[in-house]
């Protein structure tokens, strides 16, 4: 008797150092690290909405993957702001 379904198990990809991944966006590849609330110990300013990210708020750190010194370009984003980044229309400063 043969097997009807052969299931392929996908092993979870090993993480390096945390919840880090690479995402492709219209403006290039970005390294993205998802921080938990307990890892967020400082106040940052989100470039997406220009509001503060308070300590203990789970959020996203992203930096360009094609920059050797990309780690210096890290930006902290609210998770929804990062997710909506591509949908952002032009907006003026008020």
Which residues in this chain contact Zn ion in the complex, by CB under 5 A? Answer: 46, 48-49, 78, 81
User: Measured between alpha carbons, how far is residue 41 from residues 8, 34, 53, 59 in Å?
Assistant: 40, 14, 10, 11
Residue closest to 63 by CA, chosen among 75, 46, 51, 45 = 75
Q: Which residues contact 70 (CB under 8 A, 6 or more apart)?
A: 31, 63, 64
Closer CB to Zn ion, residue 15 or residue 88?
A: 88
In the complex, least distance from residue 47 CB atom to Zn ion, rounded to whole angstroms: 8
In the complex with Zn ion, the residue whose CB is nearer, 39 or 79, is: 79
User: Minimum Å distance from CB 73 to Zn ion?
Assistant: 17
Q: Which lies closer to Zn ion via its Cβ, residue 15 or residue 73?
A: 73
Task: Give me the least distance between CB of 81 and Zn ion, in Å please.
Answer: 3
């Amino acid at each position: 008797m043969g097997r009807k379904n052969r299931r392929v198990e996908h092993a979870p990809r090993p993480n390096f150092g945390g919840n880090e991944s690479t995402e492709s966006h219209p403006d290039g590849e970005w390294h993205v690290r998802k921080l938990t609330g307990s890892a967020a110990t400082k106040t940052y300013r989100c470039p997406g909405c220009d509001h503060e990210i308070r300590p203990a708020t789970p959020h996203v750190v992203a930096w360009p993957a094609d920059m050797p010194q990309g780690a210096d370009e890290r930006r902290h984003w609210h998770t929804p702001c990062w997710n909506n980044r591509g949908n952002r229309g032009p907006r003026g400063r008020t």
